[in-house]
Amino acid sequence: MDLAEKLAILADAAKYDASCASSGANKRDSRDGKGVGSAGGSGICHSYAPDGRCISLLKILLTNRCIYDCHYCINRRSSNVRRTAFTAEEAVTLTLDFYKRNYIEGLFLSSGIVRSADHTMEQVVQVARTLREQHDFRGYIHLKTIPEASPELIEQAARYADRISINLELPTQVSLDRLAPEKNLARTQQAMGRIKLKLDEAHDRRKNGDRKLRHATGQSTQVIVGADDSTDADFLARSDVLYGTYKMRRVYYSAFSPIPEPSVVLPVKAAPLVREHRLYQADWLMRNYGFSTSEILPAETPNLDLRIDPKLAWALRNRQEFPLDVQTATRGQLVRVPGLGLRNVDRLIAIRRHTRVRLEDLARLRVSLPKVRPFLITADHHPARYLLDSDRLIDRFLPKPVQLDLFDDENR
Ligand code: SF4
């Protein structure tokens, strides 16, 4: 098989992994005239999942052979796909060729597990080591690591990569037992814990002046949403642990989409993309707005309302907290108002020092007035209590129903 054929197979096999965004990495550049690559300003390659989503990209698998049999994975042992593998040298050559042509900004390298976790991890590390040490490659590298690999190999991966990640895939051991029987939640979290310690050490060394230290700056993971009956509460509870205990930079939620040659235990339909979107919104509220998992999803509602965003859903469940006077409410209260983002809250706090805030000030900040009106008191606006208590308040936020046209070709 020639290199182009291998690339077609191994780039295609890698496109299901959504955890490859490069945010938060150190910027490398080659302004000193040495080395290859610059993390800023270069072209970037994108890839598309079967459902049409752009999932960014710079990514290949080292091999799509695998000794594991995860049901949701096209590369699983029992899948009837064409198998191939790059040698480490081939992966290096390909990366450099693409990089120099400005097709990519760096490399995202993952792999099926061949022979053993350590054997596979050695190959992955060899690619990164060769790029960094032999070719002085200064582009971005994200390496997918294997929790069962030895800590030394994972540490080496962290030394050459900007970002390392281990995919958790499913939020509970019960789900893993059913869909990825060889995977173990505790083992994966242990590996994440070891990575966190190394990341902390590297952070401290940098802070103490070791500017030349080469080490990954963060770890991330991916979970598949909708491949089984795990609830949104399961996903958010797991994310809470991952952010809190393992300092995860990002948890990527990837809506399940059917793969060719699917396993019979998988759903036949793709999970709605809006579910993935709502999970990202809820995750954002947890990380940046101080919401707890139980506030976003109380025990009686294990799944997010797909019709409205989670902050609005929280406000509708907690109407006793509103309306808030924009002039006197605390920052912590204002960031919980639907339609107000962190930046606008800070701007409002600055404005209210000098003047009584009016609706036109909100409009000038491009705040959605229909969204904030029921929840905020301004100098010229006081929402009626009956409106806030009305069962029909939610209707204001739902898309208006559209009458189908009898004479529209698509409806005939
Ligand atoms: S270990 Fe990775 S590559 Fe192998 S079957 Fe599972 S998800 Fe797929």
Beta-ladder partners of 137 = 36
Query: Which residue's C-alpha comes closest to atom 6 of ligand 1?
Result: 70
pLDDT at residue 50, as a whole number = 39
pLDDT at residue 14, as a whole number = 80
- Is the preceding omega at residue 323 within 30 degrees of 0, hence cis? yes
More confident residue, 260 or 125: 125
Strand segments (E) across 351-394: 376-377
Average pLDDT over residues 267-296: 94
pLDDT at residue 157, as a whole number = 93
On the question of pLDDT at 41 being above 50, the answer is no
Domains of the chain: 3-296 (3.20.20.70), 310-397 (no CATH)
Question: How does pLDDT run across 204-226, given as a tens digit for each residue?
Answer: 888 888 877 778 878 889 999 99
User: Is 66 close to ligand 1, i.e. is its CB under 6 Å away?
Assistant: yes
On the question of pLDDT at 402 being above 50, the answer is yes
Burial class (CB within 10 angstroms; exposed 0-12, middle 13-18, buried 19+) of 231:
middle
Could you give the C-alpha distances from 401 to 316, 396, 397, 398, 404, in angstroms and in order?
21, 12, 12, 9, 9
User: Is 313 close to ligand 1, i.e. is its CB under 6 Å away?
Assistant: no
User: Is 149 close to ligand 1, i.e. is its CB under 6 Å away?
Assistant: no
Q: Output the average pLDDT for the chain.
A: 86
Task: Calculate how far, in angstroms, residue 70's C-alpha sits from the geometric centre of ligand 1.
Answer: 6
Q: Please count the other Cβ atoms lying within 10 Å of the Cβ belonging to residue 81.
A: 16
Mutate to test the pocket of ligand 1, among 12, 72, 76 (most ligand atoms within 8 A of CB): 76
Query: Which residue's C-alpha comes closest to atom 2 of ligand 1?
Result: 112
Average pLDDT over residues 171-178: 96
On the question of pLDDT at 230 being above 90, the answer is yes
On the question of pLDDT at 122 being above 90, the answer is yes
Could you give the C-alpha distances from 246 to 8, 64, 82, 112, 196, in angstroms and in order?
35, 29, 37, 24, 6
Lowest mean pLDDT among 50-64, 156-170, 304-318: 50-64
User: Is 113 close to ligand 1, i.e. is its CB under 6 Å away?
Assistant: yes
Percent of the chain, pLDDT > 90?
60
Question: How does pLDDT run across 56-97, given as a tens digit for each residue?
Answer: 456 889 999 999 999 999 899 998 889 999 999 999 998 998
Instruction: Give the model's confidence band at 36: pLDDT under 50 very low, under 70 low, under 90 confident, else very high.
Output: low
Mutate to test the pocket of ligand 1, among 16, 17, 66 (most ligand atoms within 8 A of CB): 66
Asked if 13 and 61 count as a contact pair (C-beta separation under 8 A), the reply is: yes
Percent of the chain, pLDDT > 70?
88
- The sign of the torsion formed by the CA atoms of 167, 109, 76, 148 equals negative
Question: How does pLDDT run across 331-382, given as a tens digit for each residue?
Answer: 999 999 999 999 999 999 999 999 999 999 999 999 999 999 999 999 999 9
pLDDT at residue 39, as a whole number = 36
Average pLDDT over residues 161-171: 90
Query: Which residue's C-alpha comes closest to atom 5 of ligand 1?
Result: 76
User: Is 68 close to ligand 1, i.e. is its CB under 6 Å away?
Assistant: yes
